[in-house]
Amino acid sequence: MKAVEFVDGVPTTAEITDPQPEATELLVAVEGCGINGADILQSSGNYAPPPGAPETPGLELAGTVVAAGRFCRRFGVGDRVMAVVSGGAQAELCSFDESLAMTVPASLHGSMAGGFPEVFSTAHDALFSQAGLSMGERICIHGAAGGVGSAAVQLAVATGAQVTATVRNADLRHAVEALGATAIDPADFVEAGPYDVILELVGAPNWPANVSALATEGRISVIGVGAGAKVEINLVQLMGKRARLFASTLRARPHAQRALVARAVERHILPLVEEGRIVVPVAATYPLDDAAAAYARFTAGAKFGKVIIAP
């Protein structure tokens, strides 16, 4: 099969051996797979796949089951599924444990579904499982025009929160506001606060201002550091606000924990997708043979939503 691989940090397409599903795994013909920040880090050698994961990049996919292990019970050949995986999604075929799979709602057409699993799973876990966002609270989402950011905006709006979204590119603010947020320049987010929750998708440039913008008993959830990872925090200020700080990644978690995240997405988000209240903004779609162009589009920035590879 064809798959993306990195040669001296440059994405290209190569022929590799087809994966073979284990007893509890599905083998899926990939319709679409999203590019994420983790893939960019992996290409530069700064984010190795977890032990046992494929070297082929790609953390999310959607497609059709073409084979199922003998212990699979929920899905079978012909079913359309999507999942967050540890790697291997940017290929014509991908195998993964059935417990990670979710049914693709009919409203997610074609390759678009390949841009759903990672960003909505990450956003839901950060906003609700970690930070405990609730109705009526004020939230600031940094980097809201990207895949996880646009997903987080929609989930926060759906739960009844008041959403402020920082978007550096002024040309993209209207698109983010169409999702239900108030979009502002990152330089103005402290004055627009205080916030009960801050979702950090950018990194160092927003510190220590994040702590200044936080309400008493507020929470900060860090899930992205693309603009820098080292910051200085005034612990006295953090203590005075009785603040809580969360940080996480999804890829390296134990298998059982990632399966629980998938069940939460099925329970809380997929009904909203089926009702048409959740969309997957797609900035661009590329064929597998144009992986280098897809990665270049992702790293160029100034995009609203996902960059998708469609094998």
Please check whether residue 40 is in contact with residue 58, taking contact to mean a CB–CB distance below 8 angstroms.
no
pLDDT at 133: 98
Same domain, 107 and 60: yes
Tokens 């698109």 sit on residue: 175
**Structural domain for 239, as ranges:** 120-247
Beta strand ranges found along 39-113 (DSSP E): 60-68, 80-84, 93-97, 102-103
- CATH code: domain of residue 129: 3.40.50.720
Predicted confidence at residue 201, as pLDDT, reads: 96
pTM of the complete model: 0.94
Confidence (pLDDT) at 110: 78
Q: Quote the pLDDT of residue 227.
A: 85
206 lies in the same domain as 224? yes
The reply to whether 107 and 11 lie within a common domain is yes
Q: How many domains does the chain have?
A: 2
Reading the chain (311 residues) residue by residue, the pLDDT tens digits are 999 999 999 999 999 999 999 999 999 999 999 999 999 999 988 888 888 889 999 999 999 999 999 999 999 999 999 999 999 999 999 999 999 999 999 999 878 899 999 999 999 999 999 999 999 999 999 999 999 999 999 999 999 999 999 999 999 999 999 999 999 999 999 999 999 999 999 999 999 999 999 999 999 999 998 888 999 999 999 999 999 999 988 888 988 999 999 999 999 999 999 999 999 999 999 999 999 999 999 999 889 999 999 99
- Quote the pLDDT of residue 109: 84
Show the tokens assigned to 207.
């510190």
In eight-state DSSP terms, residue 51 is: T
> Are 143 and 243 in the same domain?
yes
Please report, for the domain that includes residue 63, its CATH number. 3.90.180.10
Q: CB atoms < 10 A from the CB of 30, how many?
A: 25
The answer to whether residues 169 and 145 touch, using CB atoms and an 8 Å cutoff, is yes
Which three-class secondary structure state does DSSP give residue 43? helix
Peptide bond into 117 cis (omega under 30): no
Q: Residue 255, Cβ neighbours under 10 Å: how many?
A: 13
